[in-house]
Structure 1
Amino acid sequence: MTDLVKALSPLLDEVAQLRKEVARLQRGAATTKMQDTSLQATALNVYDDEGNLVQVIGIQDDGTAGTVTVHGPIPNRPTTPTVTVAQLGLKVAWDGVLLDSGNEEVAVSADFDRVDIHLSTTPAFVPSDNSYRKSLTTVGETILTPLSTVPYYVALVAVSKAGEESVASAVAGPFTPSQVVASDILDGIVTSLKLADNAVKAAKIEAGAVTNTKIADDSVSTAKLIAGSVSAVKLAADSVDASKIVAASITGDRIAALTITAANIAANTITAGKIVAGTITGDRLDINALIGKTAQSSNFVNDPEQGITGWQFNADGSAYIRSATIGNDLYEINETGNAKFQGLSVNDLYVDGEDFEAVVDSLPRGIMNIYPLSGALSYAAVDTDYLVTRFVIPAVEARMYRIVLDNFRFNRGDAPADGGGTPPTQMSVDVYSKYGSQASSADSRLHSHLKGQGYTASWSDDIFSSEHVFSPPDANLGQDLYIAVYTSCNGVASHPSLQTDANTRIVVEDVGGKVVYAPTVSITNYVAPAKTTYVKEFPSTWMASWGSGNGLRTDSNAYQGNYSSTWANNYTKYGFSSSIATTLSGATVKKVELYLDNNHFYSNSGGNAIIGTHANATEPTGSSSTTGTYARQSTAFTKGQAKWVTLATAFGTDLKSGAALGITLGRTSGGSLAEYGYFASSAKLRITYEK
């Protein structure tokens, strides 16, 4: 039997070797075809059983190649950190253990990335971006330093490779970092390289220990000198120049009277904001110091519609102020632009953008003359002009004049029962004019007051006043204007007459500067005059951003979209001045544009700004603010792009009516990862309108 085994032994070895070869070939046959597959300038998406994208293999959005985990399960929470006190710091350790919801230890998953260490002085704090300090990628410990010597609380948050965050661990604490005392430091171990800037206080330096040879050139600044410790006798002549003086370190009480003259002040170094009210009086001003300079209040605005706010004096001699009072004992101009002067002498004065001389010239000068009339004039013949009176308006100017016929009386005569005949049906008073010489009824008729058909309805007298406004032709300016007043009627059988009473008179009045007549307009083809177009910008006055998962955000970014479960869905509100509706009142809004400055999008190619409106007059402070009309418009931005966006017409309608007071970004629910991004904390509206 032994001999048989020996004989078969080589054969058995050969069979065993063949079995190994067969097993190897079978394993190769079972291998997926992917081992021989390559990706050419693209990426392979990996999905879970529910169809969710969990990983991208290959070329990423930013052009790099690699494997990026996009989504995954929420990590289990870490165990409570072990914390020990250190000098001006805390040593935080993690044992590498994760716990499930039942506090049972579970294995660390393959997509585990790290644990983040969060630190706060509040016991029951919620970890956030503001509380994050460091991370641990595996079992281990790290030092958090430098810290203040106050009680701290520490918690851990597990983070997956997809950026998903776990529930926070139990909070450990309080722990107070220990102070460093003298016995902790070996003699000679602290050199100048180990000392932080500003670390050595005056109280820690032995008197006389610091001599001149121990102080490096340019190493002592104003902030290191005790007030009064350096007297004038310790300073070498001309040793302190402007470059050796710290900004704002020299105050008024450190400057001897009359030590600073105009020659020592650099041009434009003293602005209005640096001068205490009332410190500069007339006897301290050198008038030559202001020549060729422009000065203005910090709030100066010259708005074409709203007028002037503040004040400005320009190098060309022009000045802008909101209002001026003449006759005040003291000179004064306040921040609002209201000025008071004892007297004021100017070459050219403008009021609300108009030449003051032209404004005054356009005002009425009032009554020039009054010509009282008395007695009565009887009409002896039909349709004959009878002279009532004459007068002269001397040296007419390019102005508007008014002639008033006041309290004239038409007496239609006697009725047939009283011996009269048929009364006149027309009675008139006519004003004729001529430049340079006496006028008559043959000259140009300036005005006519006529009583016409239907005048026979009553025998009662008719008392009337009539007036006419006119301006002399340019060719006759400077000439005397002669006026002649005539009257006539078309029947004399009833013995009619023109009569006067105690108040009958002719009044000549200057009613203001000459008005340029508009072109004659056909009343059957009237076209409304063109409106003026205005373009005005309104900067945002506040910004607030929220995440549905964590409430009001405290950083300075304006968020939208949904990135992670921590903040979940994000949205933002920009606030603007309530003056927008006032400005647009009675106007036609032609265009509304919004300026946004993108700082980030999830995709490197950019995304869409999701724009809407809200009606918050003031900044909301709660954990959410969902009122408003969100997602009214979607506009594409490249990543990091800043630009003006033209908004839909409805935005202008709502801003004009006051239904909209500001702009929103994002959605209150349903935001996506593709929309995730954030913009600058300020925005602007630019509105084009007609009035």
Structure 2
Amino acid sequence: MSNDLARLASRIAALERRLAQQTRTSRLAYSSIEDGAVAVYDAGGSLRAIIGQQPDGTSGVNVVNGPRPPIPSVPQVDPVLGGLRITWDGGFADADAAPLDLSRVQVHLLTSADTDPDAMWPAATIEAASGASVTIATNYYGDVWVRLVAVSTSGTPSLPSAAVRTAARRAAAADLGNGTVQQGHIAVGAITTPHLAVGSVTPDQIAVGQGTNLVPDPGFEGAVIAAAVAAAGAPWSLARGNRTGVGVHVDCLAETATYFTLPLATVPVLAGAQLYLAVDVLVSDDLDAQAVKILARWENAAGTVLGYGVVEKPDAIPGMWQRITGQVAAPQGTTQAVIALEASAATTGWAVFDNAEAHTIFGRVVGGARAELGPDGLRLYDETGEPAVSLATGTPQYLTLRSGGQAVATIDTNGNAGFADLAVAGELTVGGDPVTALLGAHARGLVAIDYQTTSVRTTGSEYGFVELAFEADATRMYRITFDAIANPSVAGGELQLRLRDGGANAPTITSPQVQLATHHLPIGNSKRVRLELVRSGTALGAGLHRLLITFRNQYGPDGQYVDLYGAANSPGVLYVEDIGAHVPETGGYNTGGGTSQPPTRTYTKTYAASWSGSYANRSGYNAYYGNSCMQGYYSSNNGIQASLIGFPVQLATDLAGATIQKAEVYLYFEHWYYASGGTAVIRAHSHASRPTKFSCDTEGKSISWSRNQGKWVDITSVFDSTRWRGIALDPNTTNRAYYGRARGVGQTYPPKLRVTYTK
């Protein structure tokens, strides 16, 4: 009994221990988040964090909509050689401690004490929440103001700290040892002739611009342009460049028409020299200016302005980056040129410039036979000074070849060509159709024939007479004809002619019959008899056909026989003709009582594209390319690109209730990543007008193209009459063999759709 009590007490103690353990277990010990997330909201109902699977498919903790961080304390700023050292002590002007969601503290260099920092453009960042120092290099030695901005993990910036005025320290004699100052440390114009002894600087120690570009820092990414912009002051500033990097921004607000000019470089130039100038420009919707431009201001040795060489864009399209290019020539007396950006006679709006170029054009530039070579390409002039060859980008290109002063071959600016003789090793196309296809659309004539000059006799049984074989094409139409002489022994009855088809096998009198012709024998004398059949290659079946003509007499007097023959002066003949491309059957039975239904007909109609456009990352419409049709991957700027091409509403009307026999599209690809050409992937879409987001069918057809080739291609397999209203170019791959540009609506050789249908 005592043992039982002891065991009972032991079991009760064990249960108490288990109960204690269970009560201490977390409420989520056996919980999980399955393919989702937990949203965290504050007391006011605002979303503060997302724990688990994020909207982009990743997993983690994402803090959003956090409160504005406190204002950082005033930084300690120490000038250093060619820069500034900024120290933040980790404190805040309006808080005792750093917030738990602090991400970093941005350092901003500003042109005035009251300038508001742009959180998108910090000069540096301090990552340590406890404070740290950063050193910022600069070639600008004027006054700047330093302000700090705290940024939370949710991306919310604080108000800026109080501004601290400072300036970078210039180099003193004690700072400069052997080799301390090297290429890129000296701004253009910073050192003048009195500072240099003869022979102290050799050509290999001087760098002006980059490569053959006379503009230092042409991408506007470095200290040279930053110093130039800072020196020019308002209205010039740095801004986001062409898709990536840094550009130069000018605010064109003025009470009267004003010329806003920013010099980029002063370079030596001799009279008669030519420069190639180019720059990317982006303008606002409200820009009111004569033009935006890049120019060369021609000056003599005394600095007197002799004139201007201008490359401008007077009608720039707002909101779209555009490149302006051109050539300018220096007048007599020129010794130097000032390369500058300018917004001319402006009163409102703004403009941004990026990627400036100024290159010397090599070659004699005045009169007679000569060559000009520049960044945009090559130009050759004949002895009269007229251009004979122009292979330059951004301008019409043409080529004239001469022999003995006479033109023997020409390719003009529209792509029209003239040659004495032309030999084509590959495929020759006309209007996008291969010549073989154009010829194939018509009858090809006889494909097989046989003549008969002997006779065969039947006395009532079916006999074979002549065999003829040919290869049938499913896309063609054929006429099979037999003509010979029949001679009955006595009048009466009829002669039955049969056409039998053995296919690829030897034909016999039991082979399938494909046609029958009967001829009455009213007199016991010779008469011509004939059998004819028109049939499509589809109905016959593609491939070899061994045809057999058989004959027999029937319903005549007893003992009648018939000879079927041809003579030397009047032979019999069996022949097969190709009479053209396949034509679908469109007729129907009609007893003669009339019908209200219109007859079924075959139509072939060509539709010009009504809209087109490209889509970056296979997503949003990219207005940068206008109506051009891009496909494939070139860089991460636009990702994998795709295009949509649409056709007028008449297409939907015509195809309603129709059966498509053939659908073809014409595209002209002017460029591929590789000189050898590329591959287009064509799909169908159902958009009636150009959408803001890209979408298309998944089924596609891949077709090879050459550069500057326009051609018709068959897309019947991916196009139907009930859903599709246009085509998409969508390779959906980063393989550059698929990167190309086709012409769109409003350009030469625009897209077209040709549909053959019955209705």
Shorter-chain TM range is 0.3 to 0.5
Select the structure that is richer in strand.
2
TM-score (norm 1): 0.34
Asked which structure has the greater RCO (Cα within 8 Å, sep 6+), the reply is 1
Give the greater-gyration-radius structure (CA): 1
TM-score (norm 2): 0.31
